[in-house]
A and B are shown apart, each in its own frame.
Chain A
Amino acid sequence: QKEVEQDPGPLSVPEGAIVSLNCTYSNSAFQYFMWYRQYSRKGPELLMYTYSSGNKEDGRFTAQVDKSSKYISLFIRDSQPSDSATYLCAMRGSYIPTFGRGTSLIVHP
């Protein structure tokens, strides 16, 4: 079993839908949780950064961390075709993050 599990998708939704992306993990030492967006053949771009449990909101994006369940989520409201990308969760205890394999999201007009 991998330390971080993430469904690769693809997840296809219509424009304007609320998107829910999730990761589960097994390492209790993880305290910092990140979501990155990666467009095809580009480097990952940091979207959200959360420490420990709780929610964090930034514009159309909301990140949730439930450490008791070892489960993190990213919600995207009013999804746009430009949100079509691969979304990577990442988490760490020290300086070295462990990434999920990414979920491919397709938002169609």
Chain B
Amino acid sequence: DTGVSQDPRHKITKRGQNVTFRCDPISEHNRLYWYRQTLGQGPEFLTYFQNEAQLEKSRLLSDRFSAERPKGSFSTLEIQRTEQGDSAMYLCASSPSSGYTDTQYFGPGTRLTVL
């Protein structure tokens, strides 16, 4: 399967704990995006990478959130000192950055529950 993969698929944690999610994009896709989706809402943009460079961050991304994409391949999203309001689906998407189409392909998401 050459689609976007995310790990883990589900994560349950206690408030105050740190969590880390991983995203593996489609091979050779230069752009990688992170989104957060809560129940009944569309995905909200968090941040994106062009290769290993983090080019844009949403104001939704508080200082408890950090994302990396070492070597321009997989990416990790870490949430420190989790809060109940962090409970959501965290989606990763990648795109080939060819011209202006920039079609994004989503992974299955990581569902986070903070108790």
By a beta-carbon cutoff of 8 Å, the part of chain A in contact with chain B is 4, 6, 8, 32, 36, 41-46, 49, 51, 88, 90, 95-102
Partner of A100, one of B42, B91, B108, B109: B42
Q: Check B2 for interface membership: any CB of A closer than 8 A.
A: no
CB–CB A101/B101 < 8 A: no
By a beta-carbon cutoff of 8 Å, the part of chain B in contact with chain A is 4, 31, 33, 40-45, 48, 56, 89, 91, 93, 100-109, 111
Q: Which residues of A contact B106 (CB under 8 A)?
A: 36, 43-46
Q: Which residues of A contact B109 (CB under 8 A)?
A: 41-43
CB–CB B45/A42 < 8 A: no
CB–CB A43/B108 < 8 A: yes
State how many angstroms separate the Cβ of A56 from the closest Cβ of chain B. 13
A26 to B31 alpha-carbon distance, docked (Å): 27
Partner of A90, one of B42, B48, B91: B42
CB–CB B43/A99 < 8 A: yes
Contacts A8-B40, A90-B42, A101-B41 given; does A44 touch B91 at CB 8 Å:
yes
Q: Which residues of B contact A98 (CB under 8 A)?
A: 45
State how many angstroms separate the Cβ of B60 from the closest Cβ of chain A. 12
Q: Which residues of B contact A99 (CB under 8 A)?
A: 42-44
A102 to B33 alpha-carbon distance, docked (Å): 20
A99 to B37 alpha-carbon distance, docked (Å): 10
For the A-B complex with A32-B101, A88-B43 known, give 17 more contacts whose Cβ atoms are closer than 8 Å.
A4-B42, A36-B106, A41-B109, A43-B91, A43-B93, A43-B107, A45-B106, A46-B103, A51-B100, A51-B101, A95-B31, A95-B56, A95-B102, A96-B33, A96-B45, A100-B42, A102-B41
